[in-house]
Chain A
């Protein structure tokens, strides 16, 4: 079969017989038709609507979605929700135990009052923890809402110093206790979530885009392009990823600012994470490019880039979305691992990984158990992503179409 074409006509010649002459519609009209067709599928619903409907019926997946919404909202509003700045040091309050269970609603006479905490009395400055502090019953600090405190900004734009809750000076409220420097663990977790949670999202976007480009081009072009990119992908897959991450991270030296190492972690992790995804996408493209509609698009004279981007890759999208969701935990855990090993986010910046580093000291771990709180948050975030990813996978599975 051969195809000859010019601006408005295509002549398709098959072996023997009359050549078929086709009038070509303008390119934009073709795209419109394709989009229309995508919307009018079975039962008048687009695949994406079906996906969403199926997902909504899955209770664990929705639970995951809500948890994630809450966590990410918390990360955006970190400055507002946390009562203190993440770097606010209070040497005399080091390793103060959590106050979450010490918020009182009954006053001394047993009557109901607005929630309050007592002041902090240092009984043993060397012991710290439960042994070192006591509630100072003489000073009562009611918990107030929308109080003024440390400056912060939300998304680099809104500057403010109004916090969701707090107590008047000299009172302090440490919901999850404090770390060795007396910094509020709750505030650090909120600020830390900005780093630990965004690594996943940003990383997955970069790696997905890379994987779609590499997989799409390799699969469609074939030959040398395909061969070369797949060999690179294989090397990436064969390397023990955490070590590669460490070697790469080390290659950039130790004196990086937190922003630099944050970007570095994301870029490195997504380069590694891209490999397996690119390979699967390539496989899908290989079979998709033999489909009739792709041959039709070629006959219409569309450029290769256009065919890959508009006709082939959209068909891999449901796979891409599902894998992307399921690999977000990989990014979150990699940041944790690197920061825990000391080559990730550096002090005084907070991330869930570098906060956990404190727990490596067995003495701290046993006496000040709240150093493990960031771990609970990592666990919850990863679990929620897994719930959502699992639900999406089931929803995208055509066999479960009911």
Chain B
């Protein structure tokens, strides 16, 4: 296990270098930089621009020079200051990362909490109306674009007034809230975006769960277990579910990663202050240090996601030995 983890983490290094280099190259290639918008304003003098250029290390248009500069700083843990927010990139990102993780975890709980029982139910009640209803529901979740679903939810919130339409905390009374009220307020704001992301993710896992379960239920050892006179429930949960769930676990890490990156649109619609929106805004504002740091973090998250699922799989399935891989 240890060697496996170590090897996977070491493989992350060339990947990160490739990813950040591509990002840097594209950022340099894109016309204009953060200063070009400043230059248009008549109150900003040419001297100031020159000074800022030095300060931000934007003087060279050579990708390798710029990347080398960024890399030497980054390996020392210095990811620089955000141009736009004028604060250390990491502080900015940590704050947003928490919000995004909160959203992702809530969506995960919703999607997995429903996907597994519903998938099993659909498989057991195969070809009945229950199965068809669940099947229809999963097609719905698979096909609805997250933008459209989010907008529908905003419309619902605005029309009924039951849920807040944007942000993650109350704009007016936040400071007067007791800690408990604060938690309640955030959860209240969290409900709709988490529901959107959760439903969309749920559809996929439910289908997967159903087909795995059907496959497992047709195996010989299930028939043997039934023939032994074990109760239906015991066969289902002890023998079938344990085996059917394995391939689903691989999806787990992947789902976590896709929630992190796939949440951009939902975050935008709900004005949720998460990583996705931060990155997109940074990109639009050409806030280079912020973009680079976000890309690093997102890539690490993606890799960690798949790593987690590999480890989970090894823990659950005794047949899998990570050392051999």
Q: Is the CB of A340 within 8 A of B147?
A: yes
Q: Which one of A243, A246, A248, A375 has the highest number of Cβ atoms from chain B below 10 Å of its Cβ?
A: A243
Q: Is the CB of B18 within 8 A of A240?
A: no
Q: Is the CB of B144 within 8 A of A379?
A: yes
Known A360-B151, A383-B140; further 13 A-B contacts with Cβ < 8 A = A238-B303, A239-B22, A243-B279, A244-B22, A253-B32, A329-B143, A336-B147, A337-B264, A340-B147, A360-B269, A365-B151, A372-B152, A375-B152
Q: Is the CB of A240 within 8 A of B261?
A: yes
Interface residues on B, range: 35 or more
Residue of B nearest to A248 (CB): B26
Q: Is the CB of A379 within 8 A of B30?
A: no
Q: Which one of B151, B260, B268 has the highest number of Cβ atoms from chain A below 10 Å of its Cβ?
A: B151
Residues of A within 8 A of B93 (CB): none
A8 CB–B CB distance under 8 Å:
no
B316 CB–A CB distance under 8 Å:
no
Q: Is the CB of B148 within 8 A of A383?
A: no
Say which residue of B31, B151, B291, B294 sits within 8 Å of A359 (CB atoms).
B151
A366 CB–B CB distance under 8 Å:
yes
Residues of A within 8 A of B151 (CB): 356, 359-360, 365, 372, 375
Which of B110-118, B153-161, B235-243 has 4 or more CB atoms under 8 Å from chain A? B153-161
Q: Is the CB of B283 within 8 A of A250?
A: yes
Residue of B nearest to A232 (CB): B18
Say which residue of B30, B152, B159 sits within 8 Å of A250 (CB atoms).
B30
B145 CB–A CB distance under 8 Å:
yes
What's the Cα separation between A66 and B309 when bound, in Å? Answer: 40
Q: Beta-carbon contacts of B11-30 to A below 8 Å, as 1s and 0s?
A: 00001001100110011011
Q: Is the CB of B147 within 8 A of A375?
A: yes
Q: Is the CB of A369 within 8 A of B155?
A: yes
Instruction: Give the shortest distance, in Å, between A143 (CB) and chain B (any CB).
Output: 30
Residues of A within 8 A of B280 (CB): 243, 246, 341
Identify whether the interface residues of B are mostly helix, strand, loop, or mixed. Answer: helix
Identify whether the interface residues of A are mostly helix, strand, loop, or mixed. Answer: helix
B165 CB–A CB distance under 8 Å:
yes
Interface residues on A, range: 35 or more
Say which residue of B148, B155, B166, B299 sits within 8 Å of A239 (CB atoms).
B299
Q: Is the CB of A382 within 8 A of B29?
A: no
Chain A residues 13 to 41 lying within 8 A of chain B, measured CB to CB, are none
Residue of B nearest to A382 (CB): B143
B314 CB–A CB distance under 8 Å:
no
A175 CB–B CB distance under 8 Å:
no
A235 CB–B CB distance under 8 Å:
yes
Q: Is the CB of A243 within 8 A of B139?
A: no
Q: Is the CB of A378 within 8 A of B145?
A: yes
Q: Is the CB of B261 within 8 A of A387?
A: no
Residue of B nearest to A371 (CB): B151
Q: Is the CB of A242 within 8 A of B15?
A: no
